[in-house]
Amino acid sequence: MKPDEDTLWDIRAFVYRHIAETTRPPHLEETAARFGLTHEQAAVAYEELHKRHAFLLKPGTHAILMANPFSAVETPFFVLANNKTYFANCAWDSLGIPAALHSDAKVEARCAQSGDVIRLQVTDGQVSRSDALVHFLIPFRDWYSDLAFT
């Protein structure tokens, strides 16, 4: 049976809080234990939140792969914030992490063509000066196969 709407969104909030605190998403069993759900109920909740783009599950599993702007796996987009190292999903999300956390941050990534290191710093809500650019290749209409919610 699917958890009710309030529980679903509480789970979403728990996932984000867990990532902020630990840099990784909770395993399904951690979420089940936190909310007093069975494994099956927690699995259904994760699947429902995946459908609603609240986060993205690794295909064929109940492991959270992305909860934008955070990545659950190591990527070339490092973000140091609140004395923790987070991984972003892409260039945009590397700025999205300090924006989401409302924190100062150091971002380190590489130019996709030259491999040169690109460093950015966010301090007191301002981003450091940089000549770097960010290229979005995919038009918005193709960001998701199901565009009901973003």
Q: How far is the CB of 120 from other proteins (least distance, A)?
A: 6
CA distance 58 to 87: 16
Between 45 and 109, whose beta carbon lies closer to other proteins? 109
Between 29 and 136, whose beta carbon lies closer to other proteins? 136
- Position among 24, 27, 50, 53 found at the interface with other proteins (CB under 8 A): 53
Q: How far is the CB of 43 from other proteins (least distance, A)?
A: 20
- Position among 28, 68, 71, 86 found at the interface with other proteins (CB under 8 A): 68
Complete edge-to-edge strand list for the sheet that includes strand 126-127: 56-57, 64-67, 70-71, 84-88, 78-81, 105-110, 117-123, 126-127
- Position among 74, 138, 145, 146 found at the interface with other proteins (CB under 8 A): 138
The structure tokens listed for 122 are 């966010």
Handedness of CA 110, 87, 140, 56 (dihedral sign): positive
Provide CB contacts within 8 A for 70, sequence distance 6+.
19, 23, 25, 86, 87, 88, 89, 93, 97
Between 12 and 62, whose beta carbon lies closer to other proteins? 12
Q: Any bridge partners for residue 85, and if so which?
A: 80
Binding site for other proteins (CB under 8 A): 9-10, 12-13, 16-17, 20, 52-54, 68-69, 90-93, 95-102, 109-114, 116, 118, 120, 122, 125, 127, 129-141, 147-150
